């Protein structure tokens, strides 16, 4: 019996030692994984500068106007010029939206009576980027007229400039009353990287 008790005692000691080794091994593996898994993750970008430059004010208005065709509206001499400039250092892309928002006025025309039109300067001449469209603000922020991008794919500093020309007029199908009405739109730009 003594031999059997000794054997059981040795098996018990061996079992306890095995459990201690397993626990120690798991603890070491978790500790080693945790230590090896800790490192500082950093994202670095270049410097970004973006400006919105308007000719006088970022509000354009219609006062005491008559309805006109798209053909005449696109060529009228009353327009609003503005530019977006950016200086980007490093590899980064800036997405921007040109947004038109109605400015409340007394005796205002309805938004669906107004046509908006946007051109972008390309190669020295203005090219259409938004065809004559009924003004339809889809949110409290207004109506997105155009989505653009400044994309620097090189690691050096790059300068960007986009010039725009905005026009608006009363849709030719509208029947206006004798009351003098106005309509004002404010142009804004929002951007994100």
Computed over every residue of the chain, the mean pLDDT equals: 79
At 107-158, the pLDDT tens digits run: 888 999 999 999 999 999 999 999 999 999 988 889 999 999 988 888 788 8
Q: Which two tokens stand for residue 76?
A: 């009228």
Distance of CA 178 to the CA centre of its chain: 42
Please provide the DSSP assignment of 11-48 as one string. HHHHHHHHHHHHHHHHHHHHHHHHHHH----------E
At 16-47, the pLDDT tens digits run: 655 665 565 555 444 444 444 444 433 344 55
Mean pLDDT of all residues in 91-116? 90
pLDDT attached to residue 49 = 60
Is this structure's pTM higher than 0.75?
no
């Amino acid at each position: 019996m003594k031999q059997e008790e000794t054997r059981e005692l040795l098996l018990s000691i061996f079992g306890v030692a095995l459990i201690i080794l397993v626990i120690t091994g798991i603890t070491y593996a978790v500790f080693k994984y945790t230590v090896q898994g800790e490192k500082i993750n950093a994202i670095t970008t270049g410097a970004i500068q973006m400006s919105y430059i308007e000719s006088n004010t970022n509000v354009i208005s219609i006062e005491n106007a008559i309805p006109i065709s798209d053909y005449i509206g696109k060529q009228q001499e009353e327009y609003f010029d503005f530019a977006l400039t950016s200086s980007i250092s490093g590899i980064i892309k800036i997405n921007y939206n040109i947004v038109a928002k109605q400015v409340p006025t007394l005796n205002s025309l309805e938004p669906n009576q107004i046509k908006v039109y946007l051109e972008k300067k390309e190669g020295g001449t203005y090219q259409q980027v938004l065809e004559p469209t009924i003004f339809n603000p889809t949110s409290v922020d207004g109506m997105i007229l155009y989505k653009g991008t400044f994309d620097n794919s090189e690691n050096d500093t790059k300068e960007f400039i986009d010039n725009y020309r905005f026009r608006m007029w009363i849709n030719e199908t509208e029947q206006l009353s004798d009351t003098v009405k106005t309509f004002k739109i404010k142009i804004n730009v929002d951007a994100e990287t």
